[in-house]
Amino acid sequence: MSRSPQVDGLLFSALFNERGVLASLVVSQVVAIVLAFAPNVEGDIWLRLGIISLFLHLIVLVSTSSLYFCRFFLQKRTQTFQLSLFFVSFLSSTCIFSILFSHFAFDIDDTNKLIFFTLRNCIIVALLAALFVQFLLIHFEKEQQTKALARAELDALQARIRPHFLYNSLNTAAELTHHDATAAEQAILGLAALSQAAMRSGQSVPLEDEITLSKQYVALEAWRFGSRLKLDWQIPNELPVLNIPCLTLQPLIENAVCHGVEPSETGAVIKVELHVTIGYLTIIVTNPISVASTNTRPSNGMALENIRQRLNIYYKGKAQLTIANKNGVFRVKVVIPKHVESQL
């Protein structure tokens, strides 16, 4: 079964993205308009609207920023503790800005009036925070249900992975035991690593580990195809420190071996390229396709579609897998983001 690389237990994480911040400011602005245009209000309405808008926006932004800096601490705590700190943050900011605005904006010098002014603001902000909490809880429950469905779909896709090389490699290891015991031992150890990877498909692994796994697979297949199998690795000397879903690169190389090397009598050269940009990692695997491959091998669309669906679930639609078949060369290009906001 696939497990979550990182569990996000923060109830109000939705406030920390662009849409969450915008929604908070819009709601606070609506409340400011209601308070400014309330009946029996003396003074310039537009000036009052500006002061109240600034007052509420500062409270929302300061409180949200405080919670954002405490997010790693909060996500390990209970929901009750998170909600309590949520209200404490908003009410504390309200008290601080009420005292500041009472002197600079509202000319309140009397202590009793200041207490009444602060309490009234706390009640208004508490009601506003309660409204936020209600919508955040609904969003959190919906997000958890979506993640559960995505995990179930990812597990179903994982169950459909059929690493054919496992059976071929077992036969290869069995044959090597009669000719080269050391090579047979190395083949079995490599096969064990690949079997473990097949069982944890859906989890994330370091990019360097995925490349090492792919090279172990190539070493196993080299026992079968010999000089017919050649790889041209074009990868940076220094790999970025990031995680990708396990069995992302290896199935692409396996697909190239099955459709480029196996059907060809003379073999083929498989080119593996890795390109790193500021925000994305690009993987390109190309292999020549012979006439025999198109006539004897079944379509490889199912395997590539499986990889595409797993990447879409893992990266929430931000990853791309494109294929091209031109002039007898089959090309698979995978583009994945280097930074993921929230994984399954």
Q: 145 exposed, middle or buried (CB, 10 Å; 0-12, 13-18, 19+)?
A: exposed
pLDDT at 283: 95
DSSP state letter for 261: I
Residue 67: other Cβ atoms inside 10 A = 20
In the chain, DSSP assigns E strands to 204-206, 229-234, 243-245, 268-276, 280-288, 320-326, 329-337
Q: How many helices and strands in the chain, by DSSP H and E?
A: 11, 7
pLDDT at 309: 80
Q: 24 exposed, middle or buried (CB, 10 Å; 0-12, 13-18, 19+)?
A: buried
* Full-model pTM: 0.57
pLDDT at 1: 37
84 vs 129: CA distance, rounded Å = 11
Tokens of 121: 């603001």
| Model pLDDT for residues 45-102, shown as the tens digit of each residue | 888 888 888 988 998 899 889 988 988 888 888 888 888 888 999 999 999 988 888 8
76 vs 36: CA distance, rounded Å = 40
pLDDT, block means (10 residues), the chain with 344 residues: 46 80 86 80 79 88 89 84 89 89 77 87 87 81 68 56 60 71 72 66 80 85 85 90 86 87 87 92 90 52 76 84 90 88 52
pLDDT at 7: 39
pLDDT at 150: 59
Q: In terms of DSSP bridges, do strands 204-206 and 229-234 run parallel, antiparallel, or are they unpaired?
A: unpaired
Alpha-carbon torsion (17, 19, 22, 24), positive or negative: negative
126 vs 211: CA distance, rounded Å = 53
